[in-house]
Structures are given as C-alpha cells and as structure tokens.
Amino acid sequence: MTEPHPAGIGAHGGISLERIGRFESGQFAEDAAEIIAHSERVDALFVVNADIGGVDVLDVSDPSDPERLDRLVLGDVWDGTGEVTNVALRDDVSVGGDRTSVLAVAAVAEEPGDSGRVVFYDAVERTHVANVEVGVAPDKVGFTPDGTRVLTADSGEPSDDYSVDPPGTVSVIDVRDGLDAASVARADFTGYDGREDELRERGVRIFGPNPKASTDLEPEYLTVSEDSETAYVVLQVNNALAVVDIESASVEEIHPFGYKDHHATGNELDASDVDRLCIRNWPVYGMYQPDAIDRYEAAGETYLVTANEGAMRDTEGFSEVTTVSELDLDPEAFDLGDVSSVESVEELQEAEHLGNLLTTTEYGDVDGDGLHEELYAFGGRSFAIWTTEGELVYDSGADFELLVAMHHPEHFNADGLRNAPFAQSTTKGPEPEGITVGEVDGRTYAFVGLERIGSVVVYDVSDPHNPSFVQYLNNRDFDVDPMSDVEEGDADAGDAGDLGPEGVTFVSRAEGPVDTPLVAVGNELSGTTTMYRVRRPTE
C-alpha cells in the first residue's frame, strides 16, 4: 500500500471535533436525515426528512441532547409535492411587512417534468408563508449572503425512459420586496444549444439520447459569492462548473473540471472488489463530478471547495455504465511497464485488477476505431479546491482511501448498508458527498462527509495551495450488520451508528447555542443527526 502524500495522514495542532449529541429518527434507510439548516434565533436545526416529505425541526438549545420540536410536511401546503431535496435558512427576511427568520425548502414535483417549488416557512412560528415555482427537479436551495434572493439548482433530470427530458436551469427568486411580492427569473443553457461540440472539445460531458446543451446540462449544487453577485453551479454529471450572473439571471461561463490522473503519484486508488486491499496507481482517469460545493475567501481571493462524489447516467432509457472487462481495449495505448504483474490488456481486464471497475462507454475511444485507448472512472474519491474559473488548486489525492484503509482495514470501502469490504472499490470508493467550510480562530476548515463508509474528514484549508489534514472521525459500529440486523429485528435503526452522511453544516460560535462552534451532520441511512463540538487547541 502506498504511503500518503504530504497532505495526508498526520498530526495537527489545530481544532478537533468531539461528538456530543445525536438525534435518532428511528427511520432506517429511508433518507430521514439529509441536508441541515440552522436558525440562530430559535436554536433549532431544520433537517430534510425525505421519508415524510418534509423537514424535522430539532431543538438544539442543548446540543448534547437534541429533541424534535416539530415536523413540517410539504404535502400539507402543496398537493404536487414529490421528493423534498434541500433546505436553507435566513434571518431578517420580509414577510408581510415584518422581518423574521425564513426557511426555504426545495421540492421536486410528483409528476416527472413538472416545475418544482420552493416552499417558505416562518422559521420562528413554523408556519407556512408561500410557495414559489422554480425549475424542474430543484436539488439545492440557498439564500444569497445579502438575503435579497433565493437560488435553486434545477437539475431537470430526465425520466427513467427518457420520454421526458426537461431543461436544466438556475432559478433566481427575488425577495427584496418581501416574500409576498417575490418574482422568479431563470438562467438556462439555451445559449449553448448548437455549441455542443465546442463544449465537448473543452471537456464538458454532453451525451445521451438528447444531447442538446439546454436539456443535457444538469445543475446539481451551488454556492454564491460573498458580494451576492455570482453563483457557482456544479453540473455534476457533466463534470463542469457554470458561472451565473445573479442580477441578469444568465449563464456567463461554463468551465470543465477536467480529469484526475490515477496513474500519477499521490492519486492512487483501489479498483478491485477481489478480496485484497490494493491502493495503487492504475491507467485510469477519474472524472471529478462534484456533488456539494462551498466557497471561502483567502488572501483576497475566492476559492471553491468540492466533494468529488461522481455521477453516472444509468436508467432503462439510457445507460453509459459498463465495466473495464466489457470494453475492447487498444493494446498499443496502455503503458503497462510500471504496472507490476500486469503484462497485457487482457490481464488488466481481469477482476483482480481493473476488470470490475465501473467506467463509461461514452469516453475513451479517442480515434473512433471501436477500441478504447483511455479509461474513465466516476468521481475523484477526494475533495478539491478550485479557482472561480475552474482551475484546480489542490486535490486530496488518495488520502480518503488511505484513511479508510488505516482505520477500517477489515471493512475497507464497505457500502453504507453492508459491512462487506471492497464493495465500493469498483464504483466511487468512499464517495465524498457533503462539504462545508467554517472559520475558527481566524483559520478556515473544510468538513467532508464520506457517504459510503460513514466518516467525516477535517482539513485546514486556510492556505488553499497547501491544506493540511486535521482529523478523521467515524461513528459506525461494524459489529452490527446494518441491513440484516435491522430487517430481522436484531437491532434498532440507530444501533449500527451513523451511516450515510449526506449534509454537513457548520454553526459558528456567534450563531450557536453554546460557547463553541458546532458541526451538524445528517446521516440519511441511519436516520440520525449528529452534533459535534469544535474543540480548539486551548480547550
């Protein structure tokens, strides 16, 4: 096993997270604790509970003992409610001439292709205020820092059979005159229709049954600049970043994220589900394909941080997914001289090497002769820091898999619902999904959730060009088999620990209920919301 590169496993004199409280919904593998928003005014967390189609409101005035205060069910106020996806909160928003804390909840329509909604609540009174129509399938909702607008990333995902393929958009809800006078503008990608080949040449993935830019580009997540003028939008399946001007609600730029070279030192990965741990270099490119994105300032510049989860199109109507063993490889294209014990592409395609690794059929046949000269895996298995132009500043390389191997060698790359090792080695590895940044004592930290193994990793990113590893945490009990034990009644929903971290939220010392910063994590598989205290070096 390769040693971690310099930003990997190591001691650090900075902060540390200490678990102090946990709320158990009692709902197992039902997406009952996902994205989290915090209200300073009421010392509450608002947690997306997709299973009930709404939001659980947790009292965290004592973060060591969270309790449920209320449930907000969107079906009570919108008959067309489908999946509830995201939540955001802002204090001091105008509602009927008064100013209060407002909760914004994003929901997908029940009917495929129908417009989604942002449902607004008074967060203090927990009463419904308004519904606003946005684009199709909003995946992320967020307020601008100045509180004047609410944005959604509307993925416009196609139906499973591709009979419906709506456009991807970014909706901009103007709330400057109050929610009762809210107006909506939508940034779309119609200006790139007819320019698909140009985008492909630059590395933007546009493909499938209807490869038109306006419907193929799928916004997944977004973050907003400190001056509230620009949104940075992840196009996850397309492996690209869109830059949106908020005032004009228009897409200004599209930047490809590019590819991670797993053949380079520091970018090793485990690519086989055969019963051995083998983190090493392979002739594979990783498509970064981030899910969550956040931003922060350093030395007067804005930087973006991403959790590089990976995404694929794999439905009954269209699938790009295959395994390396199923491809026809060009034997002249792969330099196997430094791949120990592998002397031919036929050996490379064996299960103990790359044979079972999931890859795409859409990329890699460089010269169109039916043979693949390159291999592309889904996701970067890392977190990364970028400029606002999409230029890579830092990538955590192989750190996450090395950390998992170090702490859980017997359950390396296990899935969230099964303890069997190596299950995720052929897909997206630890699968980083949630990420947020927070400032403590003048330093900036990134908190990353690893969805499959159930861990949280902390890095000091104060210097974007030289982050340092801080801490690795895992609250999973591998003595409990999550799926079988719970289904057979031998364990309760929370007995396996925290499974499937989906959303990570930082609560500053000034905004929180206690005299220390907090980090809250929503774990969708275990249905638990976990509270961490941020301990500073002097504590």
Q: How confident is the prediction along the chain (539 residues), in pLDDT tens digits per residue?
A: 333 333 333 445 589 999 999 999 999 999 999 999 998 888 899 999 999 999 999 999 999 999 999 999 999 999 999 999 999 999 989 998 899 999 999 999 999 999 999 999 999 999 999 999 999 999 999 999 999 999 999 999 999 999 999 999 999 999 999 999 999 999 999 999 999 999 999 999 999 998 999 999 999 999 999 999 999 999 999 999 999 999 999 999 999 999 999 999 999 999 999 988 999 999 999 999 999 999 999 999 999 999 999 999 999 999 999 999 999 999 999 988 767 678 899 999 999 999 999 999 999 999 999 999 999 999 999 999 999 999 999 999 999 999 999 999 999 999 999 999 999 999 999 999 999 999 999 999 999 999 999 999 999 999 999 999 999 999 999 999 999 998 889 999 899 999 999 999 999 999 999 999 999 999 999 999 999 999 988 76
Please answer whether residues 458 and 305 qualify as being in contact, where contact means their C-beta atoms are separated by less than 8 angstroms: no
Identify whether the C-beta of residue 256 lies closer than 8 Å to the C-beta of residue 390.
yes
Q: Is the dihedral of CA 27, 28, 31, 37 positive or negative?
A: positive
Q: 3: which DSSP letter?
A: P
- d(CA 97, CA 379) in angstroms, rounded, equals 46
* Phi/psi of residue 166, nearest 5 degrees: -75, 165
Task: Please provide the DSSP assignment of 91-122 as one string.
Answer: EEEEETTEEEEEEEEEEEESSTTS--EEEEEE
User: Going edge to edge, which strands form the sheet with 392-395?
Assistant: 293-298, 301-307, 383-387, 392-395
- 3-class SS at 300? coil
Q: What is the pTM of this model?
A: 0.96
* pLDDT of the residue at 13: 59
3-state secondary structure 395-413: ECCCHHHHHHHHHCHHHCC
Q: Parse the chain into domains and list their residue ranges.
A: 16-311+379-535
* Distance of alpha carbon 11 from the chain centroid: 27
Q: DSSP secondary-structure letter at 527?
A: T
pLDDT at residue 180 in the model: 92
Under DSSP, is residue 215 helix (H, G, I), strand (E, B) or coil? Answer: helix
CATH T-level fold of 16-311+379-535: Methylamine Dehydrogenase; Chain H (2.130.10)
Check residue 1 and give its pLDDT. 31
**Strand stretches in 324-466, DSSP E:** 358-360, 376-378, 383-387, 392-395, 432-440, 443-450, 455-460
**Nearest-angstrom CA–CA distance, 201 and 282:** 25
